[in-house]
């Protein structure tokens, strides 16, 4: 198993290069390139921002609030697209293996967040036996954090040609999805780490997140 998330996602892309029909492959590559070129970082959540209260729907039932997540330590939010997203099914097991244990030892709470409705989102938690929380924000928090996007017209046309619509997959009826992102929030509700990935095959590794939480906990202990 590759040691980094980047390597695991590169292997996914390499497999697509070998197996995908050329037109579908090019549509995927072009979409990711456009998202990078058209990225608007000035709209994204960033270090130093104060996070206002929010509520998430956990897939096993119940709700998660910002106050509840911060009750005993920092919170780490990992935004992903939906339960059937191939790259997300690589990223979340990686975080289970490389991020979750370290965060638990540091007293931080890890939550994976998607817009998908809970009854459809739950399958990714079950599939990988994730022991951290997985929750739906209905795109509300993603919108507040400035990380939502819509596929380009070529990608929409390709989806329609296959009879698929992402709004049916998420249960929300829209094309909007979050760009993959990791946000670390201190107990003071201030963002201490934020990274957004317009290209969904280039995602945040575990170590920078762990380092941000270590630094936060070190400051808190002084």
Q: For residue 195, give its domain range.
A: 5-221
The total number of structural domains that make up the chain:
1
Element (H, E) at 208: helix 206-221
pTM of the model: 0.95
> What is the 8-class DSSP label of residue 199?
S
Task: Express each pLDDT in 168-190 by its tens digit.
Answer: 999 999 999 999 999 999 999 99
> What span, in angstroms and rounded, lies between the C-alpha atoms of 28 and 12?
13
1 band by pLDDT with thresholds 50, 70 and 90: low
pLDDT in the model for residue 124: 98
Whether residue 119 contacts residue 82, with contact meaning beta carbons closer than 8 Å, is answered with no
For residue 38, give both structure tokens: 């058209």
- The CATH number given to whatever domain includes residue 80 is 3.40.30.10
For residue 5, give both structure tokens: 């998330």
CA 147 to chain centre: 10
65 band by pLDDT with thresholds 50, 70 and 90: very high
């Amino acid at each position: 198993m590759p040691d980094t998330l980047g390597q695991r996602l590169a292997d996914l892309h390499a497999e697509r290069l070998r197996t995908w029909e050329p037109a579908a492959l090019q549509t995927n590559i072009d979409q990711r390139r456009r998202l990078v070129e058209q990225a608007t970082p000035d709209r994204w959540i960033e270090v130093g921002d104060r996070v206002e209260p929010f509520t998430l729907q956990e897939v096993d039932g119940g709700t998660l609030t910002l106050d509840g997540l911060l009750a005993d330590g920092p919170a780490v939010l990992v935004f992903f697209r939906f339960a059937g997203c191939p790259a997300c099914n690589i990223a979340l097991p990686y975080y289970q293996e490389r991020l979750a244990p370290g965060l638990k030892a540091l007293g931080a709470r890890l939550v994976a967040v998607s817009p998908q409705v809970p009854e459809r989102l739950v399958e990714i938690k079950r599939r990988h036996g994730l022991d951290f929380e997985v929750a739906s924000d209905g795109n509300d928090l993603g919108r507040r954090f400035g990380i939502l996007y819509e596929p380009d017209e070529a990608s929409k046309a390709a989806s329609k040609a296959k009879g698929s619509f992402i709004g049916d997959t998420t249960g929300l009826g829209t094309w909007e999805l979050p760009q993959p992102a990791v946000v670390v929030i201190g107990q003071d509700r201030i963002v201490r780490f934020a990274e957004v990935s317009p290209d969904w095959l280039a995602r945040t590794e575990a170590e920078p997140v762990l380092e941000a939480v270590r630094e936060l906990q070190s400051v808190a202990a002084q």
